[in-house]
Amino acid sequence: MKGLLYKDWALIAGGYKTNFLFLLVFYGLLTVVSRMSFLAYAMVFVLGMYASSTISMDENSHWDAYAHTLPVTPGQLVAAKYWLTLLLTAASIPLSFLLIALIPNPKPSLTETALGLAAATTVTLVYFSFVIPLSYKFGAAKARSWVSVSILIVAFGPVLLFPMLPEAVTAPVKNAAAALDATVSSTWSETTLVMAVVGGLLLLSLVFVFISWAVSVRLYTRKAY
């Protein structure tokens, strides 16, 4: 497993070192000068993207045909991609904190930062939970395109559709949301609520990752190289 991780890390370091340094400087300057904290959150997704790019590199170099001759199981070969994604995502969190810390006052609160990073981490891990198995099924390029389009539809479709619905449909939803907000606000403190949301998002992300890994192993095992 260490060897597989080292192989992927060597691919990323060799192919994206200059790109990463440029993004770090560019994102850092924009974050500080423009006070755009969302760029710090975007860094989480960018580092995760580097991990998924190793699948494209493997396809181009026909690595998987060679990997089948190694004394490793399909589960280990696939798990290396997920561990790399998790490690790079984890490494991006303190980096994002650093970028936000460089923002002149007034800067985002710790609560806002924690929620932003939790949301960015969830989006990153859920995105790649779909991309990795689809990459093994259809190829990396098609997988990224399909998942990106699907996420846009799922994320923005309801936002665009909801205002078009009649009041008879939207009113109960708004009332239920208001009641839930009032209940949560009166029962939980802000700190407790933030911790619960952050923990729930991270747990949801890990569930997606585990299910995705199990599906990817089955797809990888059946695939002919």
Identify the DSSP state of 135.
H
- Other beta carbons less than 10 A from residue 16's beta carbon: 17
For the chain, how many structural domains are there in total? 1
| Token duo for residue 25 | 């400087």
| Token duo for residue 201 | 């998002």
pTM exceeds cut of 0.85: no
The pLDDT tens digits along the chain (225 residues) read 677 777 777 777 777 777 778 777 877 777 777 777 777 788 888 887 788 788 777 777 777 777 777 787 878 888 888 888 888 888 888 888 888 887 777 777 777 788 888 888 888 888 888 888 888 877 767 777 777 777 667 666 666 676 666 766 666 666 666 665 566 566 666 667 667 777 788 888 889 889 988 898 888 887 765
| Token duo for residue 159 | 């936002």
Residue-number span of the structural domain to which 204 is assigned: 2-222
d(CA 152, CA 116): 19
Q: Helix or strand or coil: residue 196? A: helix
d(CA 32, CA 34): 6
